[in-house]
Amino acid sequence: MKKNTDDPNKQLVMLRKIITFPILTALMLIIATQTANATENLADTETADATNPVDPSSGGATLEKVTVEADASDPYDDPNWANDPYNKAYTIRNSSTATKTDTPIFDTPVSVQVVPRSVMDDQKATRITDVLENVSGVRAQPSLGIGNNFIIRGFQNNNVYRNGLRSNNIFPQEFDTANLQNVEVLKGPAQLYGRTEPGGLVSLTTKKPLDTPYYSLEQRFGSYDFYREGVHGSVTRVERCTTTPA
């Protein structure tokens, strides 16, 4: 009986060649077909361009002139921009809560979050508790409508500062947003304010007089017999001096 002396590795190599050759042949045919089609399409395009050239005098290939204009001035550079009643920005760059000076928030070494007047107007917020829903780490506590109690970073706090001065806590009251320009929250301890809670404090900034006259009338109506009316006005110093009673 004759023994099979063929090497198994050689048989495996031959089997791979038998399987690989048809696959490579099919791939080469596909590539050649695609190349021929692309060459034919390119030739057709060149022929069409040669037979139908674009006439520059017709203006068909000329685009219209585009003028781009932009204002290089930054509205944040205007000191009265933050108090402008027509300002609809949600970002305030400067704050005086942390250092009691007009300092950019970016350069302030503590965390300060400001809710501007535009947010209050768009959300129709009438209470401080509604405004502080926009500040992270601050939660309002039930106060029976006679005060403002908050939890800032886990610490209870009922101290509210108005224009840098601490409000009276003997007769607690819930502040209205009608005369407020900004609501700021200073997170963390603040040595400039003396004894404060380590969680932070809430600071209110009232509206300031404007350089130009401004008047507005607002009315709101809602469910459960809710209604609210507000009148806002600001006159310049010249108007106050020249206006006489009729």
- Report the SS3 class of residue 146: coil
Nearest alpha carbon to residue 163 among 133, 193, 142: 193
Tens-place pLDDT, residues 169-221: 655 567 788 889 899 998 887 766 666 778 888 889 888 887 778 888 888 88
Which pLDDT score, from 0 to 100, does residue 233 have?
Answer: 80
Element housing 202 (H / E): strand 200-206
Tens-place pLDDT, residues 157-166: 777 888 888 8
Which pLDDT score, from 0 to 100, does residue 143 have?
Answer: 64
Kindly give the parts of the chain with pLDDT less than 50. Answer: 1-3, 48, 246
Which pLDDT score, from 0 to 100, does residue 127 have?
Answer: 85
Which pLDDT score, from 0 to 100, does residue 54 have?
Answer: 54
Which pLDDT score, from 0 to 100, does residue 246 have?
Answer: 47
Give CA separation, 219 vs 38, 130, 207, 223, in Å: 70, 19, 19, 14
Which pLDDT score, from 0 to 100, does residue 215 have?
Answer: 84
- CATH number of the 82-208 domain: 2.170.130.10
- Tell me the domain boundaries of the chain: 82-208
Looking at residue 191, the DSSP 8-state letter turns out to be G
Which pLDDT score, from 0 to 100, does residue 37 have?
Answer: 58
Which pLDDT score, from 0 to 100, does residue 38 have?
Answer: 54
Which pLDDT score, from 0 to 100, does residue 115 have?
Answer: 92
What average pLDDT does the structure give for the chain?
Answer: 74
Which pLDDT score, from 0 to 100, does residue 1 have?
Answer: 47
